[in-house]
Structure 1
Amino acid sequence: MSRTFPFFIVGSVRSGTTLLREILKSIHGLECPEETHFYRWGHPFGSGGYYKSAIKSPVLRRHREIDGVEESNFVRIIQTATSRRDLQALYAEKFMTAKGTGGRRWFDKTPQNVYGLPLLAHDFPEARFVHIVRNPLNVAASLVLGKVIKAPNIISAANYWQEAIAIFNTVRPIIKTRTYELKYEDLTASPQTTMTSLLNFL
């Protein structure tokens, strides 16, 4: 895989994004940090609300620890960056250096970044987007069960899926040539065929 531009995996939570990430990470030259959430929040970059969401979250602190990015380095990065794109790119650079595995291409798997997809597509005009879709009944059931993320009721569980789908379908006509829609059920039933098709796109 000779291309070097990044790609982003987005979609509803509990749709198989982690499974897809782990498969892709097994391919030499591809590297992916833990979920970053840089495009999830509605606060403008540079605001107190954005900094608080990015810096104070215990979950994201743990993600950075796994990625090998020290907190002092992250604070320096976020204070140096002038936009979300800067932050994403600088973080990817630090992550790739920390891993030291010789990866040539990074990608991001943060399903909730679908909420910032219009800006994400604008900021990375060369990037590709993989939208993974799972049967909504299974997504809702997983959320109600709540082993990883727990929805408080069926309405919120249904809207995790519905809102992600609505946002992606609205933006897709604008970035059509840069998108690939992958069905979770295809990935689990025919992984080799599905991954071959995806890798040809990427």
Structure 2
Amino acid sequence: MAVGMSFYDTDKLRQIATNLFYGWGYNFYRTENQLRSDDQLVRSKAAWLLGIAMASVTAAETEYRREFLPPPSRVKPFPDAAAVASAQKLELLAKGIGALEAAIQQQPVPENDRMTQRFRQEAATLRTLIEHDEKLVGQCELMRSMVDQQTGMAILEKIADLEGGLGAIRGTLQQRETVLHGVTQ
């Protein structure tokens, strides 16, 4: 064979690539790999939606503080306790949304290893995860839509619903973890 001709030997290159893919534990033509990739994409979009929601709540909190918590003066040296409590509720809501955003980004997907393949049907597990992730994205979009472009007062009016939404998102993440650990629901 001429010098450099092995770079054009399709059969030999396919064998090398296949060995490398299997050595890396990856075969990009498998359904499971597409589902794993989809799962990661969906979760990144859910986290992105929560990032937007957190930014909206943070902006509303800043505006609320500017409007209802002016700098101290001789006439009024101490801030209104109710306004401080409301600002703190907005701050806690933003932190709660941020914590869920981080939790979504840190969620694992099933590993592509022999133990996973031996004890669990990976494609079925990933399909179940996608179902949970669809629910998760819906919840995150609902959260985003409820706070997007809203004032602090408007957000405070629906704070109970928003806190309930945070609880629902946490529940979906727990269900997802249950699926990942192989416990049936």
TM-score normalised by L of structure 1? 0.20
TM-score normalised by L of structure 2? 0.21
Please state which structure has a larger fraction of its residues in helix.
Answer: 2
Please state which structure has a larger fraction of its residues in strand.
Answer: 1
> Which of structures 1 and 2 has the bigger CA Rg?
2
